[in-house]
Structure 1
């Protein structure tokens, strides 16, 4: 796995974790921010052929 792929997967994992915390905290604004971040990261992954597990 190259550095780009590893970094991208790490960022996705972090965003998913932050999303879970935002939901648990009831922070609707942060939920929206994290969902947008995940959407962008997943799009980037798809554009570069990086497989991301479904969450």
Structure 2
């Protein structure tokens, strides 16, 4: 796995974690921000042919 792919997957995992934490604490604004970031990262992954684990496709 190259550095780009590893870094992208790491960012997606961290963003998913941050999104979950925001949702659990009821921080709707932060949840929206994290959701947008996650969607951007998923789009970037798709554009570069990076396979995501199932939790990253929701």
Give the TM-score normalised by the residue count of structure 2: 0.92
Question: Aligned-residue CA RMSD in angstroms?
Answer: 0.5
Measured after TM superposition, the shift of residue 54 of structure 1 is: 2.2
Number of aligned residue pairs: give it: 55
- Which 5+ residue runs of structure 1 have no aligned equivalent? none
Structure 1 runs (4+) greater than 4 angstroms displaced: none
Corresponding residue for 1:2? 2
Corresponding residue for 2:50? 50
